[in-house]
Amino acid sequence: MGISRRSLIGGGASTAALALIGPAGRAEAMLGRIFDWLNSRPVESPLPGESILDFSARVLPEITPTGKFYVQSIGWTPAGGTRVDWKIYVGGSVNSPFELISSDLTALPQREAWAAITCIGNPVGGGQIGNALWRGAPLRALLERASPRESALRSPAWRAVFRAADGYHDSIPLEAALDERTLLCHRMNGAPLPPDHGAPLRLLTPGVYGLKNVKWIRSTEVAAGGHAGYWQGRGWSDAARVETLSRFEAPRRRVTVGAPSAWLVGSAFAGDRGISRVEVAYGLGPKRHPWAPALVKKPLGSLAWTPWAFRMEFPEDGFYPATVRAVDGAGQLQTEKISDPKPGGATGLMELNLYATGLPTM
């Protein structure tokens, strides 16, 4: 999707300046690669007595700090986003439309969910992804109070349409809106939702890219047929189903190793499908090591990313390219087919280049 001036906040001043590039061809992929270069990491090793899975959780914190969680918007944060009198309208094809203020939502039954959100504009291995603890009221409670008409409940074509204070708008199937896991969130990582992340209310919808998780929500309406959201009108996917992804987190991209082995640490994510397995292959030609399973740590929740770790061996000096892939919870192998982020999210496998040098000769 188009990169706004806020896209890569927290990624460094150089990256933020480059984010001025607007919607165009492969600009998103270029920015993602620059983001990863600026945030490259060396090989890291377990501490004495530290378990490998504890090591992987230390190298890749399972909770993305709010200040480092990526930010994407169409260009600005609405003023007054923390006001307790923020009004939300619930209507459309319902029997009992109503309006409430955001503070009323805290009186409703609350749910918490560990969930990762990733940007549809990410290239393979791109850095616009974060894992956080979200808290809010199930959207279902508001829709049940509004009482959608029978015609809406009988047809899979009906949608819940969301409009935001910054002019953004998008929709999700009514079935997804009635899913208990779909939340109107007002807290993030145990604190009030910050303005940049949609305060006072943002949507959390399982299994879809970030563009569907509307921020600064002003209204929710039940509507017939399709709704061309802000980004769909610019050629991006409406379904926006998260493609299975796997990433090297440490080391990243290109490193030199002076030891006979090294631990690779990373993450895998498949939206609401979960991850059942992560595999790594490395080396060249006849000496290439075939796909082998990584150690996988249980994720914090069913919608969170999955940390993994893999021990890589270097029998001699040389170049050792490595590739990672994941299998989702339904048993579907991550595709090797390379596709650009637009329209429905990038696909392909992330690679890592390691150079072993100075190893003792046998």
Structure token pair of residue 102: 């955001």
* Phi, psi torsion values for 74, nearest 5 degrees: -85, 5
> Which architecture, in CATH terms, is 70-234?
Alpha-Beta Complex (3.90)
Residue at 324: amino acid letter:
V
pLDDT at 152: 86
Burial 68-83 (b: 16+ CB within 10 A, else e): ebbbbbeeebbeebee
Write out the residue limits of the CATH 2.60.40.650 domain(s) in the chain: 245-356
Where do you find CATH 3.90.420.10 in the chain?
70-234
Q: How far apart are CA 270 and CA 296, in angstroms?
A: 14
pLDDT of residue 284: 93
Considering just the CA atoms, what is the radius of gyration of the chain in Å?
22
Does the structural domain 245-356 have CATH classification 3.10.20.90? no
Q: What is the pLDDT of residues 218-274, one digit of tens each?
A: 999 999 978 999 999 999 999 999 999 999 998 977 888 999 999 999 999 999 999
Contact 248, 324 (CB under 8 A): yes
b/e per residue, 207-237, with b = 16+ CB within 10 A? Answer: bbbbbbbbbbbbbbbbbeeebebbbbeeebb
| pLDDT, tens digit (0-9, with 9 covering 90-100), for 132-165 | 999 999 999 999 999 999 988 888 889 999 999 9
Q: Which helix (H) or strand (E) holds 152?
A: helix 150-154
- Model pLDDT, residue 342: 97
Q: What is the mean pLDDT of each run of 10 residues along the chain (362 residues)?
A: 42 31 45 51 84 86 94 81 77 96 88 98 94 97 95 89 96 97 97 94 97 97 92 97 96 86 95 98 93 95 96 94 97 97 97 90 64
